[in-house]
Chains A and B, each alone.
Chain A
Amino acid sequence: MKIVLVLLALVAAAMADHHCGTLAGLKVKSEWGRAYGSGHDREAFAQAIWRATFAQAPESRDLFKRVHGEDTSHPEFIAHAERVLGGLDIAINTLDQPETLKEELDHLQHQHEGRKIPDNYFDAFKTSILHVVAAKLGRCWDREAWDHCIEHIEKGIQGH
């Protein structure tokens, strides 16, 4: 009996760990607030994420020809990078309001569909976010929570 209980507890813990729950959402929301920053800090944060993404998947630059993806310091690319983080900001800030979040993710999905974005580009983008956030926040941040919540947001944009 005890073993069953322990097993159940483990299963419950594992399930809780694998999705972006309310607490995880709140954590990410507040930590994002610190990492996102403002002003030229924010510009650098966005650029660092994109540089790391392009370093992982160099071919993905081709998708960003229209916004000068060949040069991450180009004003048009900087504008694009900030726009992307703006969308992410809305998504993360509504992690505790599922209906609003759904609306935003549907909107973003609509903007991305038809661009033929491979799943591994989304993976690379998530990995970049995790690394740059770690660099920005240093100590206090919950990697697991970020992993699951960014995944949740990306799934919503990918539509699967």
Chain B
Amino acid sequence: IRQADTMKSLRLLLAALAVVTAVLADHHEEKPESHDDIIDKLVERTNKITSNVFHIESLLDDRLDEKRIRRAGSLVARVEALEEDSCEDHDHQCGGDDPQCISELFVCDGHKDCRNGEDEKDCTLPTKAGDKFVGDVVYDHCTKRRPDHITLVVESVSTAAFFTPIVDLHVHVEIESETDEDESEVSLPSDAIYSFADHELTVHAPEDDGLGLVGNFDGHNFDRFVGHIVHTISNQPCAEFIFHRK
């Protein structure tokens, strides 16, 4: 009990002290402040508000973050790829809230064909000279060398000014392979085309075995594509590699 009493009086004392300090502080405030003090306070408040604004801005940026939108876009693209095609072959879906099918030949030709203008929106080429993509094997039933990795190097890019839906590329397909006897390395030059309509990169067969490479970007993430080795004539895939930009 004694102890409790002491505690009580101690608290009372503290409270009294606080009141006195407050009064003193008040008293102090009544004195005219120096100009510097006023300015300092203003600066301090401005800083606080600025920091709050920046905080809100960064929260907003998080929502508008391009990477986040791209990631979500890739997911949407994967779901859409699972769905049945909403347009016929050789057609492109304008998408958005206003579905419309237009010809692939009209995508990125400098002429707005979709009602929502989607066909002329994303027309910057995702691959430029010097770009390098390394592909890891998924399965392989047909290549001569059965490599674990294939590297695709973009040597040059050219677009005909009067017909822009298709871009011509010159590429090198680099393959390192190991057999029991030896290691070999080849760099096969070839021509390729990139089509904006389906984000598809088609590499013509670099050798006379008629095996070409068809790479499909998802249209949002241009650092990765799924590449199929196909028989040029039948268009049948016989090997798959997942490519990543280096």
- With A52-B162, A128-B162 already in contact, the answer to whether A140 and B233 are too (CB < 8 A) is yes
A37-B90, A41-B90 as given contacts; A135 in contact with B103, CB under 8 Å: no
A140 to B165, CA, bound (A): 18
Residues of B within 8 A of A41 (CB): 88, 90-91, 103
Are B162 and A135 neighbours in the complex by a CB distance under 8 Å?
Answer: no
Interface centre among A40, A45, A127, A139 (most CB of B within 10 A): A139
Which residue in B88, B90, B109, B202 is a CB contact (below 8 Å) of A51? Answer: B109
Contacts between the two chains (Cβ within 8 Å), count: 65
Interface residue tally on B, bucketed by range? 20 to 34
Q: Which of A55, A136, A139 contacts B105 (CB 8 A)?
A: A136
Task: Give A100-143 interface residues, CB cut-off 8 Å to B.
Answer: 124, 127-128, 131-132, 134-136, 138-140
Q: How far is the CB of B175 from chain A (nearest CB, A)?
A: 20
| A residues in contact with B102, CB < 8 Å | 44
Residue B104 is within 8 A (CB to CB) of chain A in the complex:
yes
Contact with A along B97-117 (1 / 0, CB 8 A): 000001111100111000000
Given contacts A128-B162, A128-B163, A140-B232, contact A135 B104 (CB under 8 A): yes
Interface string of B120-138 (1 = CB under 8 A from A): 0000000000000000000
Instruction: Specify which of A40, A47, A135, A138 is in contact with B163 (CB 8 Å cutoff).
Output: A135
A-B contacts, 12 listed (Cβ < 8 Å): A37-B90, A40-B103, A44-B102, A47-B106, A48-B106, A48-B109, A48-B163, A48-B165, A52-B163, A135-B163, A135-B166, A138-B193
